[in-house]
Amino acid sequence: MIIKILTDNWQPLLTGFGYTIGASILGLIGSLVLGTVFALMEMTPQPLIRGIGKALVEFFRNIPLLVITLFFYVVVSHVLKINGFWAGTLALALYTSAFIAECIRGGVNSVDPGQMEGARALGLNYTQAMMQVVLPQGFKLALPSLGNQFINLIKNSSILSFVAGLDLMYQANVISGANLDPFNTYIVIGIFYLLLTGPLSVVMTKLENKLGGSN
């Protein structure tokens, strides 16, 4: 049954797999960049920038990804000509960046304050101490939670199916609408998602144990 679904639909499945991977990678890059910017904004001593950073993060964390996606798809697309794939991917990057910002901030906050003091006591200024000593350690501490965000991002890319983003979930609906076998079709699609998220989650667990163990 499952084999038949694979052989009958290898083309849409492969397309879907490709679009899901594409959206995930683009989403990851976008959200890492944006998330780091948000995190730095949230940590600056400058109150206005800090306020804006916090507000943006809170905003995107607290509304559903679907709402952001639909907004891009039906409203923003009037202005920028973007199709479902790009609407979904942009929404994904924006939404995820709020979580990434929190991970990075959490990582930096959990660096022993003695590290900052040690550097300041030797005459390094705040920026030097941050860039040379604290931020590199913060990133490392944030790695496990960043990894989890990446897994969430892959799963959340299924949002593209709402806006005809051609991803795996979209193909699942097309295929099961045609073969009337949702049971096996969704299992096949589930396996495809696990192919992406499973290994990553194993790596993340290992990493968490390793970092947790050495501290």
Partner 1 sequence: MIKFTDVQKYYGSFHALHDINLEIKDGETVVLIGPSGSGKSTLLRTINGLETVEAGQLLVDGQDVASSKTNLNKLRTNVGMVFQHFNLYNNKTILENIMLAPKIVLKRGDQENRAVAERLLERVGLADQINKYPSQLSGGQQQRIAIARSLAMNPLAILFDEPTSALDPEMVGSVLDVMKEIAANPAYTTLVVTHEMDFAKAVSDRVIFMADGQILEDAPTDKFFDHPETERARKFLSQVEHH
Partner 2 sequence: NHQRSQAQETDSLQTVKTTHVMRWGVKSDTRLFGLISPKTGQSEGFDVDIARAITAQIAKQTGTKIKPEFTPVTTSSKIQLLKNHQVDAVAASMTITPERAKVVDFSTPYFPAGQSLLVKRDSPVKNIRDLNRPDATIIGVMGTTALETTKQFAPQAKVIAMPDNSQAFSALQSGQGDAMTTDNAILYGFSSQSPNVQVVGGTFTNQPYGLAVDKGQTQLQHEVDQALGTIRQNGTYERLIKKWFGNIPGLDWRELLK
Partner 3 sequence: MMLAAFSATNLHYLLGGLGITIGVSVISIIISFIFGTLFGVVLYEEVPYFSRTLQLMVNTIRNLPLLLLIFFTYFALPKLGLELNAFAATVVAMSVFESTMISQIIRGGLLSVGKGQSEGALSTGMTKWEALWYILLPQGLKNSIPPLISQFISLVKDTSLATAIVLTEMTFRSQVIYGQNPNYMIPMFALITALYFIVNYSLSLLSKWFERRLSL
Contacting positions for partner 3 (CB under 8 A): 58-59, 61-67, 70-71, 74-75, 151, 155-159, 161-162, 169, 172-173, 176, 182-183, 186, 189-190, 193-194, 197-198, 201
Nearer to partner 3, 30 or 144 (CB): 144
By CB under 8 A, residue 140 contacts partner 1: yes
Q: Look-up: residue for tokens 């989650």?
A: 201
By CB under 8 A, residue 71 contacts partner 2: no
Give the H/E segment covering residue 215. Answer: none
**Considering CB distances under 5 to 8 angstroms, the limit depending on partner class, which of partner 1, partner 3, partner 2, none binds residue 119?**
partner 1
CA 115 vs CA 8, 134, 211: distances in Å: 59, 7, 18
By CB under 8 A, residue 173 contacts partner 2: yes
DSSP 8-state secondary structure symbol assigned to residue 174: H
By CB under 8 A, residue 112 contacts partner 1: yes
Q: Give the sign of the dihedral formed by CA 114, CA 115, CA 118, CA 124.
A: negative
**Considering CB distances under 5 to 8 angstroms, the limit depending on partner class, which of partner 2, partner 1, partner 3, none binds residue 163?**
partner 2
CA 46 vs CA 9, 40, 41, 42, 194: distances in Å: 55, 11, 8, 9, 43
By CB under 8 A, residue 187 contacts partner 2: no
Q: Look-up: residue for tokens 């998602």?
A: 193
- Indicate which single residue of 78, 122, 212, 213 sits in contact with partner 1 (rule: CB under 8 A): 122
CA–CA distance, 88 with 30 (Å, rounded to integer): 13
Distance, C-alpha 84 to centroid of its chain: 18
By CB under 8 A, residue 18 contacts partner 2: no
**Contacting residues toward partner 2, per CB under 8 A:** 73-75, 77-78, 81, 83-84, 161-164, 173-174, 176-177, 180, 182
